[in-house]
């Protein structure tokens, strides 16, 4: 991490010493997401921002980051609190390098946890929320990344969720996410999905640090 980024984080944490709920959106922007899916996803990101900002505590505690994957993997949004989050407009193209995407998400999460500890900021169990409509193009990498997810889930280092959009290979996604059953999105109902996600993060942000928060089922937007 650059010195300027480290200083920026220290200032942010000093200004807002609230405990943090890290949430990484790990988003498939491969070519098959073009057209209606990416349009609905972009609109969903704006809904996510708006819903989180209705909650005075959540907007200070929920830390949002976005990692996208296609043939390239990009950190489109590094961690910011919800009140500073400005949803990007995502564009599509390329293959589905899901394994590389998972590794990047877990890497930036590890770095963020180190920053929390360095600045004496407590944090809730982090969430990674992956959305994909395909099957991975990097199968060997994804198999190793799946083991990382399992290890992190077992040690309670992360809660890793998967949502499959129309066209997804659900059996393959279920092999990757063994610890937590992925959800199939109904149509392109990203709006309700992001409302569910923001409500869930809001619940977590209002809970005690080690409390197990019961989550609502994906009613109205997804099926297991």
Residue 106 has pLDDT above 90, yes or no: yes
Percentage of residues of the chain with pLDDT beyond 70:
100
Q: pLDDT tier at 208 (50, 70, 90 boundaries)?
A: very high
Backbone φ and ψ for 222, nearest 5 degrees, come out as -150, 165
Q: What pLDDT does residue 67 have?
A: 98
Q: What pLDDT does residue 162 have?
A: 98
Does a structural domain hold residue 45? yes
Residue 1 has pLDDT above 80, yes or no: no
| Domain tally, the chain | 1
Does a structural domain hold residue 171? no
Q: Average of pLDDT values for 190-209?
A: 97
Does a structural domain hold residue 11? no
Residue 6 has pLDDT above 90, yes or no: no
The chain-wide mean pLDDT, for the chain, equals 96
Does a structural domain hold residue 8? no
CA distance 99 to 138: 6
Task: Report the phi/psi class of residue 127: left, alpha or beta, with left for phi > 0 and alpha for psi in -120 to 50.
Answer: beta
pLDDT in tens, 37-84: 999 999 999 999 999 999 999 999 999 999 999 999 999 999 999 999
Does a structural domain hold residue 215? yes
- N- to C-terminal Cα separation, the chain: 39
Parent domain of 92: 18-163+176-223
**H or E stretch covering 105:** helix 98-118
Q: What pLDDT does residue 61 have?
A: 98
Considering the entire predicted model, what is its pTM?
A: 0.97
CA 213 remoteness from chain centre: 18
CATH number of the CATH domain containing 196: 3.40.50.410
Strands (E), the chain: 21-28, 62-69, 73-81, 127-132, 159-164, 183-185, 222-223
């Amino acid at each position: 991490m650059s010195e300027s980024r480290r200083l920026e984080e220290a200032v942010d944490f000093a200004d807002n010493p609230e405990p943090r709920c890290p949430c990484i959106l790990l988003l498939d922007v491969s070519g098959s997401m073009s057209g209606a899916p990416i349009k609905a996803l972009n609109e969903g990101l704006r809904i996510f921002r708006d819903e989180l900002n209705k909650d005075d505590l959540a907007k200070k505690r929920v830390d949002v980051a976005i990692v996208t994957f296609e043939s390239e993997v990009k950190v489109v949004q590094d961690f910011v609190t919800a009140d500073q989050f400005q949803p990007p407009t995502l564009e599509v193209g390329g293959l589905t390098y899901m394994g590389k995407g998972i590794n990047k998400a877990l890497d930036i999460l590890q770095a963020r946890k180190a920053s929390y500890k360095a600045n004496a900021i407590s944090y809730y169990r982090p969430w990674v929320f992956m959305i994909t409509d395909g099957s991975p193009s990097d199968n060997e990498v994804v198999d190793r990344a799946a083991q990382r997810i399992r290890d992190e889930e077992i040690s309670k280092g992360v809660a890793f969720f998967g949502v499959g959009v129309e066209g997804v290979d659900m059996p393959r996604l279920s092999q990757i996410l063994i610890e937590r059953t992925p959800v199939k999105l109904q149509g392109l109902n990203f709006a309700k999905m992001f409302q569910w996600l923001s409500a869930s993060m809001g619940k977590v942000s209002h809970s005690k640090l080690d409390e197990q928060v019961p989550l609502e089922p994906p009613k109205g937007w997804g099926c297991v």
